[in-house]
Structure 1
Amino acid sequence: MIQLFRKVLCPIDFSEHSLAALDVALKVAQQNDAKLYLLNVAPMPAGAAGFQPVPLDPYPYLEKERQEQLVKLAREKIPGSVRYETLVVNGDPAKQVLGIARSIEADMIVMGTHGRKGLGHLVLGSVAERVVRESPMPVLTAHSKVQVRKAA
């Protein structure tokens, strides 16, 4: 059997979309006997003067809390036969996903996308879009099956 992917990175923000991506990443890891890396990037608040993130000093308690959440998720979702590692970092999400992917020499990134459009996309941007655009390795995006209904 040819192993196409040895290391799969799956960014997790605990949204329905990232959990859907985890399901896909898990299948890829199982089919390829690959190691699965779960990554959480702690959020940065928007700046008061604009929409640029304000850098914050790392908060060890936040990283510890996120790490605990990620480990709990991994224990619930990932079978014992799959090798995995959990990582928590602070900073700009797209930049951190790309940086971690390079540092672990990932063969593939599997991530959720919120599918925002219009003003929401303009204001919030798209982490997945930036990762897809700048990644040197394949990126597979996934949506959750949850449909958001607009009020009538």
Structure 2
Amino acid sequence: MGMYERILVPTDGSEGVERAVRHAVDLAVQHGATLHALYVVNSASYAGMPMESAWEGIDEMLRSDAEDAIAMVEAVADDYEIPVESAIVDGSPSKEIVRYAEEHDCDLVVMGTHGRGGIDRLLLGSVAEKVVRGSSVPVLTVRVAGDD
């Protein structure tokens, strides 16, 4: 086995995240590692919306997006015959990424970042930055395509 045995690649399904996935797959190939694909449904961001009967439709849409994002990771890994363990969880993205990495003894987290600075970062926050600051597991950030 190589230096890395379990590599976590969180995905949000956004355009450009495939670049981070490909980095994670390349590392998994080089180290004979298993890839862990994680999607965090940030249901807290929908907490203020009037839900009742509409919640089921939103939940189904979020789950469908999650499954599509995980399927993309699995497809890229499958091209290189890399084993993938997949999970979809609910919660705060940064907290759940850190929790998953630690609970599953991952050796590395590879995740995309939009590279925002200044006011954008202050207003939007950065999941990647929160993971870097909160994780006991090393984090490799990959700037995703389409940035300004």
Instruction: Name the TM-score, length of structure 1 as normaliser.
Output: 0.79
User: Are the aligned partners of 1:6 and 1:33 in contact in 2 as well (CA < 8 Å)?
Assistant: yes
- How far apart are residue 17 of structure 1 and its match? 4.0
Distance 1:5 1:97, change over 3 A: same
Tell me the equivalent position of 1:107.
Answer: 107
Structure 2: how far apart are the matches of 1:9 and 1:29? 10
SS of equivalent residue, structure 1 residue 37: strand
**Code of the aligned partner of 1:45:** S
**Code of the aligned partner of 2:30:** Q
1:143 and 2:143 are equivalent in the alignment: yes
Q: 1 or 2, which has the higher helix percentage? A: 2
User: Are the aligned partners of 1:63 and 1:88 in contact in 2 as well (CA < 8 Å)?
Assistant: no
**Code of the aligned partner of 2:18:** L
**Code of the aligned partner of 1:10:** V
**Code of the aligned partner of 2:29:** Q
User: Are the aligned partners of 1:128 and 1:141 in contact in 2 as well (CA < 8 Å)?
Assistant: yes
Instruction: Name the TM-score, length of structure 2 as normaliser.
Output: 0.81
Distance 1:3 1:93, change over 3 A: same
Gaps of 5+ in 1: 49-55
- Count of residue pairs the alignment pairs up: 138
Residue range with higher mean Cα deviation, 28-37 or 62-71: 62-71
Tell me the equivalent position of 2:36.
Answer: 37
Structure 1: how far apart are the matches of 2:136 and 2:74? 30
Tell me the equivalent position of 2:19.
Answer: 20
Query: What percentage of residue pairs aligned between the two structures are identical?
Result: 32
Gaps of 5+ in 2: 49-54
Tell me the equivalent position of 2:83.
Answer: 83
RMSD over aligned Cα atoms: 2.3
Superimposed CA distance per residue, residues 75-122 of structure 1 (whole angstroms, 9 cap, x where no aligned partner): 431225201011111111100000000111100000000111122111
